[in-house]
Homo-oligomer: A and B are copies of this chain.
Amino acid sequence: MLSLASTFTPIGIIHSCFGEKFGIPRQAGLVPVARATLELLPPCATPEAVRGLNGFSHLWLIFVFHGIPAGQWQPTVRPPRLGGRQRMGVFASRSPFRPNPIGLSAVRLERIAINQGRVTLHLAGVDVLDGTPVLDIKPYLPYADCLPDAAGGFAPQAPELRLTVEFSSAATMFCAAWPDDEWHELIVQVLRQDPRPAYERATVTPQRYGMRLKGMEVHWEIRGETAYVTDINPVPAGSPG
Chain A residues with a Cβ under 8 A of chain B = 1, 4-11, 27-30, 41-44, 46, 48-60, 62, 64, 66, 75-76, 87-94, 98-100, 102, 104, 106, 133, 135-158
The answer to whether A89 and B53 have CB atoms under 8 Å apart is: yes
Kindly state the separation between the CA atoms of A56 and B4 in the bound complex, as whole angstroms.
28
The answer to whether A57 and B142 have CB atoms under 8 Å apart is: no
Residues of B within 8 A of A1 (CB): 41-42
Task: List 9 A-B pairs, Cβ < 8 Å.
Answer: A1-B41, A9-B100, A11-B99, A49-B91, A51-B89, A52-B89, A57-B149, A140-B152, A142-B147
Contact among B98, B136, B148, B155 for A99, CB-based, below 8 A = B136
Task: Decide: A148 near B145, CB < 8 A? Known: A6-B7, A89-B48.
Answer: no
By beta carbon, the residue of chain B nearest A41 is B1
Residues of B within 8 A of A104 (CB): 60, 62, 104, 136, 138
Kindly state the separation between the CA atoms of A54 and B88 in the bound complex, as whole angstroms.
11
Residues of B within 8 A of A142 (CB): 147-148, 150, 152, 156
Q: A56-B153, A142-B147, A146-B150 are in contact. List 19 more A-B contacts (CB 8 A).
A: A6-B7, A6-B133, A7-B8, A11-B100, A29-B144, A44-B75, A44-B99, A46-B75, A51-B88, A51-B92, A56-B151, A58-B151, A59-B91, A60-B104, A62-B62, A91-B139, A102-B135, A140-B150, A143-B152
The answer to whether A155 and B141 have CB atoms under 8 Å apart is: yes
Which of the listed residues A6, A148, A151 has the most CB atoms from chain B within 10 Å of its own CB?
A6
The answer to whether B91 and A137 have CB atoms under 8 Å apart is: yes
Contact among B4, B44, B92, B146 for A147, CB-based, below 8 A = B146
Contact among B62, B76, B139, B147 for A140, CB-based, below 8 A = B147
Kindly state the separation between the CA atoms of A5 and B41 in the bound complex, as whole angstroms.
13
The answer to whether B139 and A155 have CB atoms under 8 Å apart is: yes
The answer to whether B8 and A100 have CB atoms under 8 Å apart is: yes
Q: How far is the CB of A32 from chain B (nearest CB, A)?
A: 12
Kindly state the separation between the CA atoms of A7 and B102 in the bound complex, as whole angstroms.
11
By beta carbon, the residue of chain B nearest A152 is B142
